[in-house]
Structure 1
Amino acid sequence: METKRQKQINELLRRQFSMVLLDEGTYIYDRAMVTVTRVVVSPDLQSAKVYLSVFNTENKMEVMAAMDENIHRLRHALAGKVGKQLRKIPELKFFLDDSLDEFFRMDQILTKLRAENQMGTEEE
Structure 2
Amino acid sequence: MSRFKNQAAGEPSQRQLRVGELVRHALADVLSRNEVSDPDLDGVIVSIAEVRISADLRHATALVAPLGHTDPALIATALNRNTRFLRGRIAPALRQMRNIPDLKFQLDTRFDDDSRIDTLLRSSRVARDLPVDPDGAPAGGSDEDGR
Q: TM-score interval w.r.t. the shorter chain?
A: 0.7 to 0.9
Could you say which residue in structure 2 is the equivalent of 1:40?
A: 52
Deviations 1:16-59 (A, max 9, x none): 21112112366331132211111111111111111111221331
- Equivalent residue runs for 1:42-81 within 5 Å: 42-81=54-93
Aligned partners of 1:105 and 1:55: how far apart in 2?
Answer: 19
Runs of 4 or more, structure 1, over 4 Å off, are: 104-107, 119-122
Judge conservation of contact 2:32–2:45 (CA < 8 Å) in 1. no
* TM-aligned CA deviation for residue 104 of structure 1: 4.4
Compute the TM-score of the two structures, normalised by the length of structure 1: 0.77
User: What is the rounded CA distance, in whole Å, between the counterparts of 1:25 and 1:54 in structure 2?
Assistant: 16
Q: CA RMSD in A?
A: 2.6
Amino acid of the structure 2 residue aligned with 1:101? D
Name the structure, 1 or 2, with higher relative contact order (CA <8 Å, separation 6+): 1
Structure with the bigger percentage of helix: 1
Gaps of 5+ in 2: 1-6, 139-147
Secondary structure, counterpart of 2:137 in structure 1: coil
- Whole-angstrom CA distance in 2 between matches of 1:9 and 1:86: 9
TM score, norm. by length of structure 2: 0.66
- Matched positions, count: 118
Which is further off, 93-102 or 35-44? Answer: 93-102
1:49–1:94: 8 Å Cα contact kept in structure 2?
A: yes
Aligned-residue identity in percent: 28
Structure possessing the higher radius of gyration over alpha carbons: 2
- Structure 1: give runs of 5+ residues left out of the alignment: 114-118
Equivalent positions of 1:101-116 (< 5 A) are 101-104=112-115, 109=119
CA pair 40-103 structure 1, distance change in 2 beyond 3 A: same
